[in-house]
């Protein structure tokens, strides 16, 4: 049960080969975007801010 919950695998599909379980599992996976963890969110923010600063530097060089 823990494996199925952790990996979002249908127990019906895994244990019995039930195709309806497979269908539900694949539909749910497509419908639900993965959640971004706080660590990922911080990394994206850090990279965005670094990119923005680099772009400012490039814009400053072009005008000079």
pLDDT tens digits, residue range 15-49? Answer: 888 888 888 888 887 776 777 788 888 888 888 78
The larger pLDDT score, comparing residue 50 to residue 60, is at 50
List Cβ neighbours of 3 (8 Å cut-off, separation of 6 or more): 9
Kind plus residue range of the DSSP H or E element containing 57: helix 38-63
Determine the pLDDT at residue 53: 72
Determine the pLDDT at residue 63: 52
Q: Are 21 and 13 in contact (CB under 8 A)?
A: yes
- pLDDT score of 51 more than 80: no
Radius of gyration of the chain (CA): 22
Q: Are 33 and 16 in contact (CB under 8 A)?
A: no
Determine the pLDDT at residue 64: 46
């Amino acid at each position: 049960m823990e494996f199925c919950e952790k990996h979002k695998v249908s127990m019906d599909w895994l244990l019995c080969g039930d195709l309806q379980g497979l269908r539900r599992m694949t539909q749910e996976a497509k419908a639900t975007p993965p959640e971004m963890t706080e660590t990922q969110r911080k990394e994206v923010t850090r990279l965005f801010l670094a990119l923005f600063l680099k772009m400012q530097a490039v814009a400053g060089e072009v005008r000079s």
